[in-house]
Copies of this chain bind each other. A is one copy, B any other.
Amino acid sequence: MGDAEPVPIRRARADQARLVADVLRHHIHDGGYPHGLPAEAELSVEFGVSRNAVREALATLKEEGLIDRGPKVGTQVAIRKYDHGLDALVGLKETFTGYGEVRNEVRAAMSVAAPPAVARRLQLQPGEPVLFVERLRFLGDLPLSLDKTYLAPDVGAEVLKHPLETNDIFALLEEVTGQRLGSASLAVEAVPADAHSAAILQVPEGAAVLLLERLTHLDDGRPVDLEYIRMRGDRITLRGNLVREL
């Protein structure tokens, strides 16, 4: 303990428990506790909260599948989450180089008439054909995300000539156009998994899912790739850096 006498927290147990769970959760995601979490008594002292609050926090993390607890093994980290960058425009396969094999189960790949809202984003006329691709993306045996992609028709037709099972669409877009990708606009939301997505992603119905809408442009500014991506909330953390600029 430091020199100054900190005031102990006197708050509702649920408030204390949530606080402990939040700090532990992020420390686990940062790769902390490779040899297991400290004992309840130790955490109680570290956080200046009651043993009951610590127990409640650990119960929350266990429910999230993040830790395992047992009388002999103590409290161990059960799953790791994977980081996906918010700073750069990188495909899933590029991101997880070194973590394991990314493979894609192609659930649909077809030409469809562009709905008006899609056509507008891709600067097409409503009803013009676009290429639609749906992929369930695995890291090893673990389903990570369910991606729905609309591609501009000319570029999309070329992309679909290549195997989508093992390639990022980003890499294929650059290959078929001979251009680098430029920028993308991104929207991130937390949504509950509908029954159908939940079954596909192997999570409980209503589980928290990261829903990304991403519109990617070629280097010349033309929008060619509109994606709706559902990432498992229990498996992926988005990470980035922010800079102050007022």
The residues in A between 137 and 168 inclusive whose CB is less than 8 angstroms from any CB of B are: 148, 153
Decide: B237 and A210 in contact? CB cutoff 8 A.
no
Across-interface contacts of A245 in B (CB, < 8 A): 88-89
Chain A residues in the interface with B (C-beta under 8 A):
1-2, 4, 6-9, 11-12, 14-15, 17-24, 26-27, 29, 32, 46-48, 60, 64, 81, 83, 86-90, 94, 107-108, 110-113, 115-118, 125-129, 132, 134, 148, 153, 170, 180-192, 194-197, 206-211, 213-214, 219, 228, 231, 233, 236-246
Across-interface contacts of A2 in B (CB, < 8 A): 113, 125, 127-129
Decide: B209 and A48 in contact? CB cutoff 8 A.
no
Decide: A64 and B183 in contact? CB cutoff 8 A.
no
Least CB separation from A134: chain B residue: B15
From the candidates B1, B231, B236, B239, name the one contacting A127 in the complex (CB within 8 A).
B1
Decide: A190 and B213 in contact? CB cutoff 8 A.
no
From the candidates B26, B64, B83, name the one contacting A213 in the complex (CB within 8 A).
B26
Least CB separation from A199: chain B residue: B14
Decide: A183 and B243 in contact? CB cutoff 8 A.
yes
Across-interface contacts of A210 in B (CB, < 8 A): 188-190
